[in-house]
């Protein structure tokens, strides 16, 4: 039998081991359930959207939207830049595209558009340029492109020159509200990067 002096130490040790065991179990569960860019890609490749109809199709689209919303900012950017969901998007109806875009836009997105439009023109241009630069840097990172070599000058632009010009001149909020679902999808990675720049406060410095 344990000496009564050592009993508290023994029981404390057991408690620490139990807590550690629960923490490790929770970590493993969280790691296995955490949504990643790879899991989104695997789901898209394993599911043939063209063969789904009715409730099954609606559930598949909802699951994809939920997975995108569960991604971290970096993983979400990776999915956008790799155009992981583009194959599904092309198969969606116009109504499905609109609903999918609304469902996957980040929280606070509309507030960001309003705040962006209130910036002076030079600040808006700089903010767009900063967002585009950050996206190009992320696109050119090997881990963003599945471990390949440098993207180089042959890499596709993160946003076409025509859309960049319209964003800068027409006004982002107006242009977005008047755009087609396809254009909104092309704008999505830039808009999300703009939101990160705005939230960092860099766009408001020196106002």
Do 60 and 76 belong to one domain?
yes
Query: Rounded distance, CA 125 to CA 127, Å?
Result: 5
Residue ranges, the chain, pLDDT below 50: 25-27, 29-32, 145, 147-154, 207
Do 145 and 75 belong to one domain?
no
Is the CB of residue 135 less than 8 Å from the CB of residue 80?
A: no
Do 156 and 137 belong to one domain?
yes
Name the DSSP class of 140: T
Do 130 and 167 belong to one domain?
yes
Q: Which residue has the tokens 């309003």?
A: 114
Range of the domain at 24: 1-33
Please provide the distance, in angstroms rounded to a whole number, between the alpha carbons at the two ends of the chain.
Answer: 74
Do 135 and 200 belong to one domain?
yes
Do 25 and 46 belong to one domain?
no
Do 48 and 97 belong to one domain?
yes
Query: 0.75 cut: is pTM over it?
Result: no
Is the CB of residue 91 less than 8 Å from the CB of residue 50?
A: yes
Domain tally, the chain:
3
**Whole-angstrom Cα Rg for the chain:** 23
Do 115 and 158 belong to one domain?
yes
Do 125 and 70 belong to one domain?
no
pLDDT at position 36 is: 94
Do 120 and 187 belong to one domain?
yes
Do 76 and 97 belong to one domain?
yes
SS3 127: helix
Q: Which of 56, 71, 104 is the last residue of a domain?
A: 104
Do 66 and 138 belong to one domain?
no
* pLDDT, tens digit (0-9, with 9 covering 90-100), for 156-173: 566 777 777 777 677 777
């Amino acid at each position: 039998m344990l000496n009564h002096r050592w009993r508290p130490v023994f029981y404390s040790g057991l408690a620490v081991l139990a807590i550690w065991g629960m923490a490790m179990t929770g970590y493993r569960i969280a790691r296995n359930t955490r949504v990643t860019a790879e899991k989104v890609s695997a789901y898209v490749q394993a599911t043939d959207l063209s063969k789904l109809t009715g409730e099954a199709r609606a559930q598949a689209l909802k699951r994809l939207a939920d997975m995108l919303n569960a991604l971290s900012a970096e993983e979400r950017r990776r999915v956008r830049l790799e155009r992981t969901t583009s194959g599904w998007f092309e198969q969606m109806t116009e109504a499905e595209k609109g609903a999918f875009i609304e469902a996957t836009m980040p929280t606070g997105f509309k507030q960001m558009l309003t705040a962006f439009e209130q910036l002076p023109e030079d600040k808006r241009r700089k903010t767009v340029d900063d967002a585009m630069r950050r996206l190009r840097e992320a696109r050119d990172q090997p881990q963003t492109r599945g471990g390949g070599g440098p993207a180089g000058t042959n890499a596709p632009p993160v946003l076409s020159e025509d859309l960049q010009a319209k964003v800068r001149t027409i006004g982002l909020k107006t242009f977005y509200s008047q755009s087609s679902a396809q254009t909104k999808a092309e704008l999505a990675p830039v808009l999300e990067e703009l939101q990160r720049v705005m939230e960092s406060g860099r766009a408001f410095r020196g106002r």
